[in-house]
A and B are shown apart, each in its own frame.
Chain A
């Protein structure tokens, strides 16, 4: 690997990590709403967070660009905060990566939370634990494998994001050029060896992450079906 390769991989990992770190809490809130609450608009929320899964990433990028771009009120706010809009910066790349990984994380979290018996949470409330403590002392410890698995899945998705990123963040070397967009550039310029090097890095990262993900998920499902004090 060459030095330029390493800096591209590091930037990609940074963007994907930040995207995942921001998306995970949001996804947890959405998953808690979907799994635990019965409210008006539940269906709409479900469709809305799943939308990035069904849309072409280019469309997501375009919508994001429109939202964060110069002309919107958000754009004005960004100018006030950062001096310019976040379009075509690494923040936009992280935003794009976060949005496309959101539905995957929400889905994994919802499954993980559905596997936790709500009666355990009710019991914890009765024993004096407030909602926040119930979440951290009961819900999360029982769902943690699914939560880690979902976060990893979101992370690989963020890492492999291309379509939305290139529209909203561009392909600026050293600033917004991630592994997928660098591969695209190298293929376009006919530099096949260099493209392959990064492709192998992508494959290796994906295989390792998915391997851990599947292992965790299998253990999480094993736990759910085993008799854990409650007959199913």
Chain B
């Protein structure tokens, strides 16, 4: 649990935010230049605010009023930056163990080797950072931060410089990290897609001021950060190849099967699926005789709407976001709790290696 109240006044820039974040993944989002990174730097101790306080699990780590300032090296927050920022003169293993070696034995709750395995880096341990791909570097950066057994993980646009397959895979790794290690995360992003896929709560910042705190989808619609930013939302699911027919491959995701384009993969191979929220059709009645290969039954969990746009969360065994318009919500009479069918083509599903 972290609570803070921070003010910075500098010529040409001001920051005035307050927040209280609990367990889970909290996203700080907003347009570029809003002060997201500065806020994160204040929390990590790289920037000292003009006034305010920061409290973690009841302990003051900063208070201007009582002149408390804990140096960044004493805070034990894991930091993950946009471009990895790995130590170029150290191997992957040495990078991961850098912070771990500096903490007292009694505080070493996590084993670097275990982290290395969970993040799929076992075979890369002796590599140098320059020999890694962007996605691999970011996995090393995440491992390095987690090895610290941090009280809090701070991530600053960790996916911004990655390509789509790497992004998808890192999102999946971050979810796994969250499930396995139960470390609260603060995730700075300007990507709607990332915020919705990862965060359980979100804070919107604009012009250095907190503009709201709540469920990500509520805020995103109200803010419409990227104009009509929802069209870029990707539903990401982890699955296992269940079999291949002549032109299709079936992937098992939780309790359901999803048909995708034929993949050159064996049964049992792990894959990541990504379906755009705008690629899904929602209907209250079971459709018959359709060319689309995927018709999945689900239940509407939530509907948000704003300015004609709407977003529905449908539970089909895993949670899927569907983009639609306010008008179609009304015309189809879709309400929360209702049983619906999602329809999408096998070719709308992008498949990546897990």
Contacts and interface: CB of A to CB of B under 8 A. Distances in A.
B44 A127 contact: no
A129 interface: yes
Interface of A: 117, 119-120, 122-130, 133, 137-138, 141-142, 226-231
Given A228-B130, A229-B130, A126 B73 contact: yes
B71 interface: yes
Nearest to B103: A128
B99 A127 contact: yes
B7 to A, nearest CB: 22
Interface stretch (B84-92, B201-209, B341-349): B84-92
Nearest to B78: A126
Interface of B: 44-46, 71-79, 81, 83-89, 98-99, 102-103, 129-130, 132, 137, 144-145, 148, 161
B85 A117 contact: yes
A117 B89 CA distance: 13
A231 B161 CA distance: 10
A122 B102 contact: no
21 contacts: A119-B85, A120-B88, A122-B79, A122-B85, A125-B46, A125-B72, A126-B44, A126-B46, A126-B73, A126-B77, A127-B79, A127-B144, A128-B73, A128-B74, A130-B71, A133-B102, A137-B98, A142-B88, A229-B87, A229-B132, A230-B88
Contact of A128 (B87, B88, B102): B102
B99 A230 contact: no
B98 A230 contact: no
A228 B73 CA distance: 24
A180 to B, nearest CB: 39
B46 A128 contact: no
B73 A125 contact: yes
B148 A123 contact: no
Given A127-B102, A141-B89, A231 B73 contact: no
Contacts of A128: 73-74, 76, 99, 102-103, 148
